[in-house]
Amino acid sequence: MGQMNGRVVLMTGAAGAIGKPMCVELARRGATLVMAGRGAKLTQAAEEVRAATGSQDVHTLGLDLGSLESVRGAAAEFKSRFQHLHVLINNAAVFSGSRKTTSDGFELVFGTCHLGHFLLTNLLVDTLKASAPARVVLMTMDSKIPIDFDDLQAERKYSSLDRLQMSKGAVTCFGVELSKRLEGSGVVVNCVNPELTKSDLPKEAALPIRLLFALFGASPEKTKNYGLQVACDDEFKAMSGRYLRKGVEKVIPDLYLDPNVRTRLWTESAKLVGLS
């Protein structure tokens, strides 16, 4: 895995099951690490990363992906504190057993997993371009759930598992479109499915799903490496618009490759977050 000396890395969900082990490795490899998240959990995670690595180049950034105001504030603060951004890792995710909403009224899972990251990435894309060569890594999952443009906020029907899969499908679709829009800029964009991982993500899920994670989920110490490879290794420095599962490139479902779907998702997302 490539060394990261002199490279500025921003990660969302940095205190999570996969996020914190990834942060430890990034700090060990010399990155200027910016851990984004919320509250005492983030502060504690940053302290643990510093203690584990001896690095004092570990920083925190307050970020609530469920609040557009918070996302805009975090992007502005990042730019005021750091001149460069070489790697953006969109890692944060939520799962909700029932329909909830963000502070802006968006359905929580879609609003956090996709819309929050969509806004953050777009607000930082100029810094990524100016820092090129740079990378965007979108942590996602296998999904073949169509993006329901007629019910993006799940106001008609809510299924917790379908909602997570559709939202992660939107992340993949966004990643493909972003890679196209950034062609020739020196910024590459790739999607990573780290495989099923033991975590507290499904704590509100039905018992069978919780058991699936508990019994068959891999250790975060193992699954952290899949995202790190794409973020750090030289073999991925020119690869863009790809989807990798457990370090192996996989075919992206046609429904996320469709240019009409990609364009519509971008347009709808930009409108919702106030970028259009």
pLDDT digits (tens, 9 = 90+) for 176-185: 999 999 999 9
* Structure confidence by residue, pLDDT tens digits, 178-219: 999 999 999 999 999 987 665 666 565 566 566 656 655 567
Looking at residue 57, what is its pLDDT?
97
Contact (CB, 8 A) for 23 and 87: no
Distance of alpha carbon 186 from alpha carbon 136, whole angstroms: 11
Distance of alpha carbon 15 from alpha carbon 44, whole angstroms: 8
Q: Mean pLDDT over residues 82-88, rounded?
A: 98
Give the rounded distance of the alpha carbon of 181 from its chain centre.
Answer: 18
Q: Mean pLDDT over residues 4-26, rounded?
A: 94
Looking at residue 203, what is its pLDDT?
65
Looking at residue 244, what is its pLDDT?
94
Looking at residue 197, what is its pLDDT?
60
> Structure pTM?
0.94
Q: Mean pLDDT over residues 213-239, rounded?
A: 81
Q: Which residue is associated with the tokens 């192996």? A: 248
Q: How many CB atoms lie within 10 A of CB 183?
A: 11
Looking at the predicted structure, is the pLDDT value of residue 174 above 90? yes
* Structure confidence by residue, pLDDT tens digits, 57-72: 999 999 999 999 999 9
* Structure confidence by residue, pLDDT tens digits, 107-144: 999 999 999 999 999 999 999 999 999 999 999 988 88
% of the chain exceeding 90 in pLDDT: 80
Looking at residue 224, what is its pLDDT?
80
Q: Is CATH 3.40.50.720 the right assignment for the domain spanning 8-273?
A: yes
Go through 138-170 and write b for each residue having 16 or more CB atoms within 10 A of its CB, e for each that does not: bbbbebebebeeeebbbeeebebeebbbbbbbb
Looking at the predicted structure, is the pLDDT value of residue 21 above 90? yes
Looking at residue 194, what is its pLDDT?
85
Taking alpha carbons only, the member of 187, 191, 189 closest to residue 134 is 187
Q: Mean pLDDT over residues 4-31, rounded?
A: 94
Q: If you average pLDDT over every residue of the chain, what do you get?
A: 92
% of the chain exceeding 70 in pLDDT: 91
